[in-house]
Amino acid sequence: MGLSHQDRLDGLSSLAREAVVELGLEFVELLLQGSSRRRTLIVIIDRAGIQGVTHDDCKRVTQSVGERLDESPLLPDAYNLEVSSPGIDRPIRTEDDIRRNIGREIMVTTTEPIEGATEFRGLLVGGDRTLLRIERPTSGGALEIPISAIDSARQHVGI
């Protein structure tokens, strides 16, 4: 009898997490898409702080995870392996997301006005499960935004 889908996901996540951490990076998420004939395994990685993930990081993780998968019974059929960063569109929701994005510029939209505004841009300097703390370049001060008031929070890349 084969592995259940959840057991397979758990095993793959453990395998990928180990490879990513050994390379000094952070494991964010693993996705398994497609059927047994054409599966795609997507490993999402990050690095805390401003630098984020490089192309070389993705190549190193691809090689390490690929080698481990070749020795593992978790994906006996053909598969495609993709490794990437969370991307700038990924919402900042969890304490891990906050920690990884400290030092990066973010955009926050709130469901209710705070200090007369509902859109904020600034440097993420801290936060937890209850609030985000950003430094705003225009006002020169820190602003604490309650998580309960946030509609969206994402990394901002200026042009």
Q: What is the pLDDT of residue 89?
A: 83
Q: What is the pLDDT of residue 19?
A: 97
Q: What is the pLDDT of residue 158?
A: 65
CATH classification for the domain delimited by 95-155, as one of 1.20.1050.10, 2.60.40.420, 2.30.30.180, 3.40.50.720: 2.30.30.180
- Structural domain boundaries of the chain? 5-84, 95-155
Q: How far apart are CA 8 and CA 5, in angstroms?
A: 5
If DSSP codes are grouped into helix, strand and coil, which group holds residue 139? coil
User: DSSP assignment of 4-57, as one string?
Assistant: -HHHHHHHHHHHHHHHHHHTT-EEEEEEEES-TTSEEEEEEEE-SSSS---HHH
**pLDDT 10s per residue in the chain (159 long)?**
477 888 989 999 999 999 999 999 999 999 989 877 788 999 999 998 778 899 999 999 999 999 999 999 998 888 899 999 988 788 998 898 999 899 999 999 999 999 899 999 999 999 999 999 999 877 768 899 999 999 999 988 765
| Assigned architecture for domain 5-84 | 2-Layer Sandwich (3.30)
Q: What is the pLDDT of residue 114?
A: 92
Q: How far apart are CA 18 and CA 16, in angstroms?
A: 5
Q: What is the pLDDT of residue 139?
A: 72
Per the structure block, which two tokens stand in for 73?
A: 């019974």
Q: What is the pLDDT of residue 4?
A: 85
Topology alike, domains 5-84 and 95-155: no
Q: Tokens 């889908």, residue? A: 5
